[in-house]
Structure 1
Amino acid sequence: MRGLRRWWDDTAGGLPATFWYLWSGLLINRAGAFAMLFLSLYLTAARGASASLAGLVVGAYGAGGAAGTLLGGVLADRWGRRSTLLAAHLGAAGLMVGLAFSRHLAVIAVLAALVGMVHSMPSPAFVAAIVDVVPEARRSRAFNLQFWAFNLGMAVASLLAGVLAEASFLALFLVDAAATLAAAVVIALKVPETLTRRPAVTPRAVAGRRPGLHTALTDRTFLAFVGLTFLLAVLTMQTSTIMPLAMRADGLRPSAYGLVVALGGALIVVGQLFVPRLIEPYRKSTVLAVSTGLMALGFGALTVADGLPLYLGAAVVWTVGQMLAAPPNAQINADLAPPELRARYQSVFYLTFPAASFVAPALGGLSLQHLGEGHWLVVGALGLVAAAGHLLAGPPRERRVAALRVAAERGETVSAGR
């Protein structure tokens, strides 16, 4: 019992109540966010759309998500974290009800784009609020728990979505809306506004302009980190974009693909809580280099994979890499962001994921078609490049974070180019 208590204290002890309410809201949000997983099936099966038209509507959802990420970051720094979260959740619940009862494909496409926007808006606000309330020494654990809640919620959503979709598409959208509304209630009742107005301690404005979104977009140290995260995201997206095609080419059934994906999710849910204690003694750049190297090894191994056991073994390797990468990735992002631009920096960081969701299938499909199994050698090499990049970029990042801390104490500014 003492050992279990000590493990829990190391994993989640010392985190403020506001964090746990944010965490609960995120978990409810993700567990209930299942309707859009079946959007293409709903369009083709219930609304008579062609596969190409369904693809365009799903693409509209993705485009809305990219816009919502940036909008959420700006609003969270201007309105506040709580206000942005409430507006996004209430808007999502209302739009989901609208989707449930819409019949015309043009209306559904517009609503899908708007849902994509409001679904993406909370991400920068959630993370910025966590950084606001969690002491720096506990942030790695907080981000680890956030990643765990996200994946646990997605696992629950995947299970519920299949059941509800078979019963009723109308129920699918309405239950999603109800879950989103429940998350909004938790935030409204239990989460205070965490944004504090203070004298600006930010990278100096570009060309004399007031610091804003452009500051993040011209911060070279931060953008180098974002670029490396983009490479990591491209690797991660292989599992949902290119790997199913490779498994089909190897004669494996869709159930085999489902088993590989389920194994990764199960590993994260079971093992993610043990990661903070494992990585705590090491520098963040070293952990990210090792984690990205493991992902490179896992995906590179698919070059010789021709049966389910090899795919499962490779999935274990790359999933461990993903688990190790999550806490330091989030913490570095938080450390590099000046307090007054925290959510804007988060929004630029989160753009890597919709960008990777476009690049990975677009270029990966061509690579798989022309290179065959050699595609996985390219993916592995890309991961090794990212691993080396983290080792090279680590010292400048650490110097930048140290400079921001000193500047915050002295009320000074730090150049965005540092």
Structure 2
Amino acid sequence: MTAVIEGQEPTGTTGTTGTTGTTGTAGPAGPATGTTTGTTTGTAAPPPRRGDDGVLVTLRETPRAAKALLLGVFVNKLAAFIQIYLVLFLTNRGFSPTQAGLALGVYGAGAVVGSLVGGSLSDRLGPRAATLISMTGSAVLIVSILYLPTYPLLLGAIFLVSTVGQFYRPAAQVLLTELTPKHRLVMITAMYRLGLNLGMTAAPLIGAALLSVSYNALFWGEAAAALAFAVIASLALPRHTARPRPEAADGASAEPEPAGRSGYLAVFADRRYSLYLVAVLLTSIVYCQYTATLPLDVAAAGLSLWWYGAAVSLNGLIVITCELAMTKIVQRWPIRLTALLGLGLVSVGYAIYAISPLPVWFMVGTLVWTLSEIIGGPTVFAYPAMAGPERLRGRYIGAMQSVFGLGTALGPVLGTLVWFQVGRSVWLWAAAVAAVATVAGLAGMRTPASGAGEPQPAAASAG
């Protein structure tokens, strides 16, 4: 399960905010209390004491607007029905399985485009406006699918539903970054991911209940959830937030935007961040092999598909129950150590599958790559919000989410093609690709500064 896939997301999974910790992943507990004059170094406020960096303390220190955002995202994910039931809906309307499958692919393409557009909208209009456009627009488009008479019109509406519905993702992570104290950002990211995962876990069951009434109830239910999020955003999210001059990695100011470049051209001109994006793409391609290649391998080994279900359930159970507790520990680690484990354990986990097609190795391998998710997920997905200039924060986040979505769309296709060509050696190939991703990630991620630039709560009213 990954919240990042959307999304994540991650549901995966699936996104997110700036990175924090206290020894490398995080900044200190507060802003610097002194200044630097000549060779005299200012004194930073001490990091939070052990026991003061958990979920409840984070919630107490989180502004009301950020809590409302977490609630809105959760409500929206509870009704994320279309992607799950789209194939059934279209075949019920009389379209062929091929047409239904193409529509699902169009939906995935829309998610990739939507992340990019959403990042740009967040930078240009602000996170609140981007969220309102996303939720109100997608609500109207969702309902339109019920009443469009032809297949081309349906494809267009499905693409727009997915695209517009993704606008809020970069905006949400930008807003969390700006509203949350810097030393709480990794934990708030883990809470954001938990909301995505819980919503994505419950959505199929709620959708099945609505589907027992009618497809109309299913689509109107998802539209209602989107409107509910829009209402929350309208009432609780600030129109403007206080945006301090950000600090980038290695203790220096954020890398300047290259001359003559703006928008996503400036993002991709950041060479180190581009390496990070390569790492995200390769990791997402490998990570999602459990959705396509793993069931093929389990079945080819003559095992009951119960073992596949057990492995997937193990992943979901551990992520939902353990990620927050693990984040309380790893948010204090240096960011590069967390990234090494978060990316590297994906390689180890899939390599374990190659040992033997026995249930024990399928379960152990799943446990290992699940550990990668709960150890590195919040930090790795928080990184884009602090990687570049503040004016491009939404685009940095949108680029990562788009690349991750592309990887999860390509992964099942590439994995099954390789499996049919080389059989169980696919797991060695997957491990090798994940290892390359780990090296690229370590090379591309800058170590965050330990001090200044802590985001402050919003200065303006939510009006």
TM-score normalized with structure 1 length: 0.88
Give the RMSD, CA atoms, in angstroms. 2.6
Question: How far is the alpha carbon of 1:165 from its aligned partner?
Answer: 3.3
Question: How far is the alpha carbon of 1:195 from its aligned partner?
Answer: 4.5
Task: Classify 1:205/1:388 alpha carbon distance in 2 versus 1 (closer, same or farther; 3 Å).
Answer: closer
Query: Which of 108, 120, 125 does residue 62 from structure 1 map onto?
Result: 108
Paired amino acid for 2:375: L
Counting helix residues as a fraction of each chain, which structure ranks higher?
A: 1
Q: Does the aligned pair in 2 maintain the 1:19–1:133 contact within 8 Å?
A: yes
**Identity value in percent:** 28
Consecutive unaligned residues of structure 1, counting only runs of 5 or more, are 409-418
Task: Give the Cα–Cα distance (whole angstroms) in 1 for the partners of residues 403 and 66 of structure 2.
Answer: 25
Q: Does the aligned pair in 1 maintain the 2:258–2:266 contact within 8 Å?
A: yes
Query: Which of 43, 49, 74 does residue 90 from structure 2 map onto?
Result: 43
Query: Which of 132, 147, 155 does residue 193 from structure 2 map onto?
Result: 147
Task: Give the Cα–Cα distance (whole angstroms) in 2 for the partners of residues 103 and 208 of structure 1.
Answer: 47
Partner of 2:415: 364
Aligned residues: 399
The CA deviation string for residues 357-379 of structure 1, in whole angstroms up to 9 with x for no partner, is 23312321221011111100111
SS of aligned partner of 2:344: helix
Paired amino acid for 1:21: A
Question: How far is the alpha carbon of 1:168 from its aligned partner?
Answer: 2.4
Query: Which of 394, 399, 403 does residue 343 from structure 1 map onto?
Result: 394
SS of aligned partner of 2:62: coil
Question: How far is the alpha carbon of 1:147 from its aligned partner?
Answer: 1.1
Corresponding position: 1:377 with 2:428:
yes
Question: How far is the alpha carbon of 1:20 from its aligned partner?
Answer: 0.6
Query: Which of 162, 186, 190 does residue 236 from structure 2 map onto?
Result: 190
Partner of 2:46: none
Question: How far is the alpha carbon of 1:293 from its aligned partner?
Answer: 2.3
Corresponding position: 1:331 with 2:382:
yes
Q: After superposition, where does 1:58-137 map in structure 2 within 5 Å?
A: 58-137=104-183
Corresponding position: 1:239 with 2:272:
no
Q: After superposition, where does 1:297-312 map in structure 2 within 5 Å?
A: 297-312=348-363
SS of aligned partner of 2:145: helix
The CA deviation string for residues 392-415 of structure 1, in whole angstroms up to 9 with x for no partner, is 445xx12xx449968x9xxxxxxx
Corresponding position: 1:259 with 2:259:
no
Partner of 2:41: none
Residue range with higher mean Cα deviation, 152-161 or 256-265: 256-265
Task: Give the Cα–Cα distance (whole angstroms) in 1 for the partners of residues 222 and 274 of structure 2.
Answer: 35
SS of aligned partner of 1:317: helix
SS of aligned partner of 1:101: coil
Query: Which of 194, 201, 224 does residue 178 from structure 1 map onto?
Result: 224
SS of aligned partner of 2:239: coil
Task: Give the Cα–Cα distance (whole angstroms) in 1 for the partners of residues 451 and 97 of structure 2.
Answer: 50
Task: Give the Cα–Cα distance (whole angstroms) in 2 for the partners of residues 404 and 363 of structure 1.
Answer: 43
Partner of 1:206: 258
Task: Classify 1:166/1:251 alpha carbon distance in 2 versus 1 (closer, same or farther; 3 Å).
Answer: farther
Query: Which of 51, 68, 73 does residue 26 from structure 1 map onto?
Result: 73
Task: Classify 1:215/1:380 alpha carbon distance in 2 versus 1 (closer, same or farther; 3 Å).
Answer: same
Question: How far is the alpha carbon of 1:389 from its aligned partner?
Answer: 3.5
Task: Give the Cα–Cα distance (whole angstroms) in 2 for the partners of residues 334 and 119 of structure 1.
Answer: 20
Q: Does the aligned pair in 1 maintain the 2:143–2:223 contact within 8 Å?
A: yes
Task: Classify 1:151/1:52 alpha carbon distance in 2 versus 1 (closer, same or farther; 3 Å).
Answer: same
Partner of 1:413: none
Corresponding position: 1:321 with 2:372:
yes
Q: Does the aligned pair in 1 maintain the 2:119–2:394 contact within 8 Å?
A: yes
Partner of 1:412: none
Query: Which of 264, 272, 282 does residue 323 from structure 2 map onto?
Result: 272
Question: How far is the alpha carbon of 1:309 from its aligned partner?
Answer: 4.3
Task: Give the Cα–Cα distance (whole angstroms) in 1 for the partners of residues 220 and 139 of structure 2.
Answer: 9
Corresponding position: 1:290 with 2:337:
no
Task: Classify 1:22/1:313 alpha carbon distance in 2 versus 1 (closer, same or farther; 3 Å).
Answer: same
Paired amino acid for 1:121: F
Q: Does the aligned pair in 2 maintain the 1:302–1:376 contact within 8 Å?
A: yes
